[in-house]
A and B are shown apart, each in its own frame.
Chain A
């Protein structure tokens, strides 16, 4: 009998990452070619609801481990639990996140097997998975496989695999699993303010700003800002306000180029590119971004790219489906207005 295909459901504050359900969907497709059932693994404090959801999204069974000490993810105890549950498995899938990067890494060591992070495509050949993952921030792709060691551990990049529609009529076994839980060595002492809005990795629409956001000499900074650098940052923030308004209308996230981040216009968590986040939205609107190679590497797989730039020779236009030569301060407000009415 073919072995179960395991999927680890990553979750944060009671909600599963959308990419967790994408991984369940990908596991279903694998089950079709490799055989076996799809078994979801849930670890946390109260994950019974999520286990039920995993069934609705396509798992045949859901195994959950619950304990008060597991309220906050810590890689050490979580890995030991997952390694015990999946020790005989052939395949262990996870969504890609900061948590699963640690989890996959440790389970790989515990089970002496390979880990393939950031997978964007999968196929099977001779019972093994052949995966594709970007290297050099997507400038190249690598075909990757784990020929001998088991399980094959893969983390799937957000939005690379379709998210299945939940079916409330699906049924499956939800089982609590008793395993020994080790005491975590680290303690989560607090959470900073969660970034408002949609996460870049999950966003279907991203509106990004670059150097051009500061480029509006008509804007007069308040009199109490006298420092030239601070005036520039203030101007850029007005530009990013317009970008944020457009992103809001489209239900999207705000991105930025490295130049904008390095100049202090916007926090690093918004940076798209080789040294920021690699994103793959349906629509990417680049406003006032010229398109350095490092930035293009981070967003080239967006389905539709729109470039708005004053410079008609900006490299970003070479990758764009639609281009507007113009100042973002002139183009964005009427565009936001227009899209609001649609």
Chain B
């Protein structure tokens, strides 16, 4: 199995994210492997452990965005490649998917391309499907379980988590999957893995390396990032001598305020 896992570097979810002068700031919170992508990396490694093959982690970002790839390597990916070019700054998913599809083709003959369900920063959840469309692979998003995988027969069956419940879908390989948290428990990098990752020289592919010469311009623009309106709420504490009394008062207040 030749598996490509696409990862992104994001601020930690515990970060307090603010906007200052139009720029997003997450203080001194660390940049990490996008939490959703940990599940994608883990699934890639588990599939490799069962079926053999090679796992390549790909990430698109600025030249210093190596943390997500280092963590992918530390977890056990065989190689990591950073896709970076000044021309790639500020792209939307339409163009990011073009760049990633070109990079996946350069890695060559993938059987499976894995994504996390979305990134915790821009949170669109559509890049994987757009890559699938460009490569002509089926898109299977929100996968909670790989039910069966038959590399020789070129078939995969997965369980997906939709709003309405679970759905089983079968399709041909190669395929693009996005995975949800239920699929596995990501491993902690081993000591050896961390050592290997810290020494690794991560190659950087530019637009020229990918044969992308056309001028990429984002279809989607985001002229302004704003802080959400502050929630002006003064908590009203419901007092009472017993739980019953508090419950009764709460029900009464909810009715008075026409909440129920």
Contact = CB atoms under 8 A, between A and B. Distances in A.
Task: Report whether chain A binds chain B.
Answer: yes
Given A148-B219, A275-B181, A140 B17 contact: yes
Q: Which of B123, B159, B233 has the most CB of A within 10 A?
A: B123
A241 to B, nearest CB: 17
Interface string B162-183: 1111111111100000001110
A275 to B, nearest CB: 6
B246 A331 contact: yes
Given A293-B14, A342-B255, A322 B141 contact: no
B138 A76 contact: yes
Given A141-B226, A300-B231, A342-B255, A186 B167 contact: no
Given A321-B235, A322-B235, A140 B168 contact: no
Interface string A197-217: 001010001000000000000
Q: How large is the interface on B (under 10, 10 to 19, 20 to 34, 35 or more residues)?
A: 35 or more
B220 interface: yes
A114 B251 contact: no
Given A141-B226, A322-B235, A283 B246 contact: no
A222 interface: no
B30 to A, nearest CB: 15
A322 B236 contact: yes
B47 interface: no
Interface residues of A, number: 91
Interface string B54-70: 00000000000000000
- Grouping DSSP codes into helix (H, G, I), strand (E, B) and loop, the B interface class, with mixed when no group exceeds half, is mixed
A282 interface: yes
Interface stretch (B74-82, B106-114, B124-132, B194-202): B124-132
Contacts of A106: 129-130, 132-133, 139
- Grouping DSSP codes into helix (H, G, I), strand (E, B) and loop, the A interface class, with mixed when no group exceeds half, is mixed
Contact of A325 (B133, B165, B237, B254): B237
B123 A192 contact: no
B225 A135 contact: yes
Contact of B227 (A140, A317, A326): A140
A319 interface: yes
B168 A188 contact: yes
B149 interface: no
Q: Which of B16, B134, B226, B260 has the most CB of A within 10 A?
A: B260
B192 interface: no
A298 B247 CA distance: 26
A294 B180 CA distance: 17
Contact of A135 (B16, B121, B165): B121
Contact of A114 (B18, B94, B132, B159): B94
Contacts of B167: 188, 190-192
B120 interface: yes
B224 interface: yes
A115 B122 CA distance: 13
Interface in A304-322: 304-307, 317-322
Contacts of A12: 162, 164
B123 A283 contact: no
B141 A101 contact: yes
Contact of A109 (B133, B142, B172): B133
B170 A101 contact: no
Given A75-B139, A99-B162, A135-B123, A322 B129 contact: no
B157 A189 contact: yes
A336 to B, nearest CB: 8
Contacts of B17: 136, 139-140
B166 A193 contact: yes
Contact of B238 (A142, A324, A332, A337): A324
Given A98-B142, A188-B169, A283-B260, 8 more contacts: A101-B126, A135-B123, A140-B227, A141-B228, A145-B220, A300-B231, A304-B259, A320-B233
